[in-house]
Amino acid sequence: MPHLKTINLFFLIVGILITSGCRDLPSPRPKGYFRIDLPEKNYITFNKNFSESIEFPLSFEYPSYGNISLENDEYPDPGWFNIEFRPYRAKIYLTYKEVENNLEGLLEQTYRMNVKNHIPKADAITEQMIADTERKVYGILYDLKGNTATAVQFFVTDSISHFLRGSLYFFTEPNPDSLAPVTEFFRQDIVRIIETLKWKKE
């Protein structure tokens, strides 16, 4: 009978192993991100001068949940101004320049600053052409994919007198997955700026 006991013990061990093997093994939970509550879309018109010496000959609609400001301490050039979204640690940097037979130089500078410098970290860069003959607004909207410091860039010009460029930045570590919904939200605001932009007649 000792042989029978050995057989029974064998099947008992096998049964325990099979039973334990059917249990669900713990696995790490998929990576998630905090929910970000975004405000309702609402726009107001930018059409003002910051001072007698700083005048922007243009108007456009921008989101009411953003604050427009100059940053002369950081950017002494009077053509630099921003739309800041403090709760989201985001900012749209805007630069206005008068075109004085230097359009080619402005285009080269914009490409170097806003696109070329981000190429090494970008997975892809797409371009959307802008051409509104009625408003005389021509340019390119850039979408940069990957771990870049900026995800959306643009420039527009009438090709004669006015030039405006902009870029969206987040003051946080780049993470395209977690920032995707917020990036798209503010991208829509940039598109609104472009679509409502009007140059003031001199």
Give the model confidence (pLDDT) of 79-107 as tens digits: 889 999 999 999 999 999 999 999 999 99
Pairing of strands 150-157, 43-46: unpaired
> Can you give the pTM of this predicted structure?
0.77
Residue 25 lies in a domain: no
| CATH code (residue 64) | 3.40.1000
Residue 1 lies in a domain: no
How open is the CA angle 14-17-21, to the nearest 5 degrees? 140
Domain that holds residue 130: 43-199
How far CA 156 is from CA of 3, 27, 84, 128, 143, in Å, comes to: 90, 50, 20, 12, 15
Residue 194 lies in a domain: yes
Residue 54 lies in a domain: yes
Residue 15 lies in a domain: no
Q: How many domains are contained in the chain? A: 1
| Each residue's pLDDT tens digit, 42-77 | 999 998 776 666 778 999 999 999 999 886 555 557
CA distance 161 to 202: 10
| Each residue's pLDDT tens digit, 16-51 | 444 444 444 444 444 444 456 899 999 999 987 766
- Residue-level pLDDT at 122: 76
Residue 6 lies in a domain: no
Residue 17 lies in a domain: no
Residue 100 lies in a domain: yes
